[in-house]
Structure 1
């Protein structure tokens, strides 16, 4: 399997506007610098956790999930290890594309999508329209995504613009294991609870509890996958004294029970 050091994502993906570009490779780099494509990108990874940053948000791509990146969205990719395997399909934009293809989002991968994706493992490079069989299969793969991707998961956190909120979210990041609440944070930073609530909603378009809960679950997922901790240990390290509460919250946000990650992480992260 090849490596990403060729920087194909800059030089090759958009060379021919009507082709579908396929690339499966070991990352081989510590990160992929910010860039964009004229084609939409399907990205799936194996062998480690991957962070993907856009100018607006930081996305967390765990095992058994993929991210759809619309054409024209600038992004950089940061894996937990250069040994991560990246599986990509890049599709030309069509005037009849579903609204699904206009949004950056993360979705779980079911067995059907996994089988189709692994089928494309035999291809690398441009798939041209005149290659009728391969092109039709790749195009059908794209057409299935809106049908299968009904439940986008909130595996992303927006970047705060307000300088006060930057310090507050940094504080939350440092205290995910602590039993702190909304009132504690408001008092610590000398603002009223009403002002703090408005700040989160206006700048991040989510409530304090939504932000802190997602932050805790993303931290928990990383501990579960990268550090190979037990579910009990992870729950404690992200501020949950109740294992059922942590498990239920994790399932609601991540889309898979933590026990499933423990059960399968050896297969997903070879």
Structure 2
């Protein structure tokens, strides 16, 4: 498996506007700095967790999931280790693309999509429309994504602009294992509960409970995959005394039971 070289994602992806660009490689870097493509990007990773940041949100891409990044969305990529394998397919924007291709979102990968994706592993670089067989297969891969990807998962957290809320979410991140009530947070920062509730909705478009729950599940996912902790240990470290409650919440947010990650993480880390 080759490594990312010559900043291919800046110099090569958009060199030919009508091609589909494939690239499967070991990351080999601690991060890919902010950049933008004129093509839509399918990104799947193996061997670690990847954070992907846009100007608006921070996305958390775990094993057995992919992220769709629409054309024109600026983003940077931050893997948990340079040994992460990234599987990328970049597609031109077609006039008949539907709303699915207009939003950045994370979806689970089922067995069929996995087989289709691995089929593209034999290709590297540009696939031109004149290469009718390969181009048709790769184009069909894109067209199948809306059918095979039902229900985007909320594996992202927005960035607050308000300086007060920025301090609050940093506080929550530091106290992820603690039992913290909404009232305690409001009192700690000297703000009324009503004002704090409005601030969360206005800035983040979600409630305090929604934000803190997603934050805890993303932290739990990272602990499961990176630190190889048991489910019980992870539940405790993200503030859950009840294992069934943690497991059910994790499944609702991530789309896979934590036991599945424990069972398969050895395979996904290869």
> Given the two structures, how large is their TM-score scaled by the length of structure 2?
0.99
Taking the aligned partners of 1:94 and 1:45, their CA distance within structure 2 comes to 25
Match of 2:72 in 1: 72
State the superposition RMSD in angstroms. 0.5
1:181, distance to aligned residue in structure 2 (A): 1.1
Runs of 4+ in 1 over 6 A off after TM superposition: none
1:105, distance to aligned residue in structure 2 (A): 0.2
Match of 1:142 in 2: 142
Taking the aligned partners of 2:48 and 2:131, their CA distance within structure 1 comes to 34
The runs of 5 or more residues in structure 1 that have no matched partner are none
1:150, distance to aligned residue in structure 2 (A): 1.3
Count, aligned residues: 270
Taking the aligned partners of 2:256 and 2:22, their CA distance within structure 1 comes to 28
- Could you give the per-residue CA deviations for residues 39-97 of structure 1, whole angstroms, max 9, x where no partner exists? 00000000000000000000000000000000000000000000000000000001110
Taking the aligned partners of 2:30 and 2:5, their CA distance within structure 1 comes to 10
Match of 1:252 in 2: 252
The 5 A counterparts of 1:37-48 are 37-48=37-48
> Equivalent residue of 2:87, what SS?
strand
Is structure 2 residue 220 aligned with structure 1 residue 220?
Answer: yes
1:2, distance to aligned residue in structure 2 (A): 1.2
Match of 2:121 in 1: 121
Match of 1:262 in 2: 262
The 5 A counterparts of 1:1-270 are 1-270=1-270
Taking the aligned partners of 2:153 and 2:45, their CA distance within structure 1 comes to 16
> Equivalent residue of 2:5, what SS?
helix
- Could you give the per-residue CA deviations for residues 96-128 of structure 1, whole angstroms, max 9, x where no partner exists? 101100000000000000000000000000001
Taking the aligned partners of 2:174 and 2:168, their CA distance within structure 1 comes to 10
1:5, distance to aligned residue in structure 2 (A): 2.5
CA contact (8 A) 1:172 1:212 kept: yes
Taking the aligned partners of 2:203 and 2:149, their CA distance within structure 1 comes to 28
Taking the aligned partners of 2:181 and 2:229, their CA distance within structure 1 comes to 25
Taking the aligned partners of 1:96 and 1:118, their CA distance within structure 2 comes to 26
- Could you give the per-residue CA deviations for residues 137-177 of structure 1, whole angstroms, max 9, x where no partner exists? 00010001011111100000000000000000000000010
> Equivalent residue of 2:44, what SS?
strand
Taking the aligned partners of 1:239 and 1:117, their CA distance within structure 2 comes to 37
> Equivalent residue of 1:2, what SS?
coil
> Equivalent residue of 1:164, what SS?
helix
Taking the aligned partners of 2:85 and 2:73, their CA distance within structure 1 comes to 22
1:6, distance to aligned residue in structure 2 (A): 2.0
